[in-house]
């Protein structure tokens, strides 16, 4: 915000300096009016290439910056991410979730919550150990927003991981819902949960790679005949 609100060129820079090295604009149409108005038009046109390059550089820096930081821009994401279907979300691999469950990140994380967005019959047929079943938006609001789970240690984090069967529809949708509702409760960019992830491949991929981290040790598809 500060970058975009700042003047592009300091007002103290003399006009003669600004014109040095700038390409001349031939055939420029002059505006009727005072000399000051005519000078202003010439100034804006002659600096246009510089202005475009500067704005493009700023936009690129901000875009890259946002991709690396949590939702409140306070710190970099802790967990290693992988490419996913929705570029606006942060995806993590089944291996990262397994490492999380075995305490590999315990010195940095105070609480990690795996949100299983599948239907209850899918969850009961097999789920990641410790995962909570929140298939509806109101379930997510009640569990995570009515009494937010905040870290007692300011140096540690609370992270939320969403998934469904494949993490293509229900899990990502619920992740976006929580972020939207969380945003609406705060003055931007503050958040209760700045660090949200989606488990790539969903429960199906996690179960086939790490069945020992599932209970019961089984996988019930959404389209199960029963």
In a domain, 51, yes or no: no
Q: Is residue 80 part of a domain?
A: no
Cα 89 to Cα 108: distance, rounded to the nearest angstrom: 21
User: Looking at residue 45, what is its pLDDT?
Assistant: 43
Distances (CA, A) of 81 to 58, 97, 204: 25, 11, 19
Q: What is the predicted pLDDT for the residue at 226?
A: 86
Confidence of residue 48 (pLDDT cuts 50, 70, 90): low
Q: Model pTM? A: 0.71
* CATH at 200: 3.40.250.10
Q: Residue 196: inside a domain, yes or no?
A: yes
Decide if 72 is inside a domain: no
Number of Cβ atoms within 10 Å of the Cβ of 141:
14
Does residue 123 surpass a pLDDT of 50?
yes
Is 15 within the bounds of a domain? no
Query: What is the per-residue pLDDT for 57?
Result: 56
- Label residue 60 by pLDDT band (50, 70, 90): low
The predicted-structure confidence for 88-103, as pLDDT tens digits, reads as follows: 999 999 999 999 999 9
Q: Which of 164, 175, 185, 214 is catalytic?
A: 164
Average pLDDT over residues 195-212: 98
Q: What does pLDDT average to over the chain?
A: 82
Q: How far apart are CA 203 and CA 165, in angstroms?
A: 5
Q: Is residue 31 part of a domain?
A: no
Measured in degrees and rounded to the nearest 5, phi and psi for residue 169 equal: -120, -70
Which has more pLDDT, 79 or 56? Answer: 79
Q: Is 164 a catalytic residue?
A: yes
Query: Residue 141: pLDDT above 50?
Result: yes
Domain extent, residue 165, equals 90-211
Q: Which of 149, 71, 67, 155 is nearest to 109 (CA)?
A: 155
If pLDDT is split at 50, 70 and 90, which confidence band does 51 have? low
Give burial (CB, 10 Å; 0-12/13-18/19+) of 87: exposed
Q: Is residue 7 part of a domain?
A: no
Domain count, the chain: 1
Q: Scan for tokens 């598809």, then name that residue.
A: 221
Residue 151 placed within a domain: yes
Can you list the alpha helix ranges (DSSP code H) found in the chain? Answer: 2-5, 15-19, 35-46, 48-68, 94-101, 120-124, 137-140, 170-184, 202-209
User: What pLDDT score was predicted for residue 7?
Assistant: 41
């Amino acid at each position: 915000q500060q970058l975009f609100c700042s003047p592009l060129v300091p007002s103290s820079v003399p006009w003669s300096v600004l014109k040095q090295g700038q390409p001349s604009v031939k055939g420029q149409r002059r505006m009727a009016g005072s000399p000051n108005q005519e000078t202003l038009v010439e100034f804006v046109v002659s600096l246009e290439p510089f202005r475009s390059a500067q704005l493009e550089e700023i936009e690129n820096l901000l875009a890259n910056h946002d991709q690396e930081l949590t939702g409140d821009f306070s710190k970099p994401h802790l967990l290693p991410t992988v490419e996913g279907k929705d570029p606006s979300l942060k995806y993590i691999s089944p291996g990262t979730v397994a490492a999380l469950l075995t305490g590999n990140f315990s010195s940095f994380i105070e609480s990690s919550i795996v949100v299983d967005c599948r239907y209850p019959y899918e969850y009961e047929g097999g789920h990641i150990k410790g995962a909570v079943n929140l298939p509806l938006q109101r379930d997510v609001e009640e569990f995570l927003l009515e009494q937010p789970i905040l870290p007692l240690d300011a140096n540690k984090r609370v992270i939320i991981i969403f998934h469904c069967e494949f993490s293509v529809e229900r899990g990502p949708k619920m992740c976006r819902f929580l972020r939207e509702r969380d945003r609406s409760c705060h003055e931007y960019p503050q958040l209760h949960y700045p660090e949200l992830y989606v488990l790539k491949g969903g429960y199906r991929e996690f179960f086939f790679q790490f069945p020992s981290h599932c209970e019961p040790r089984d996988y019930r598809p959404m389209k199960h005949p029963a």
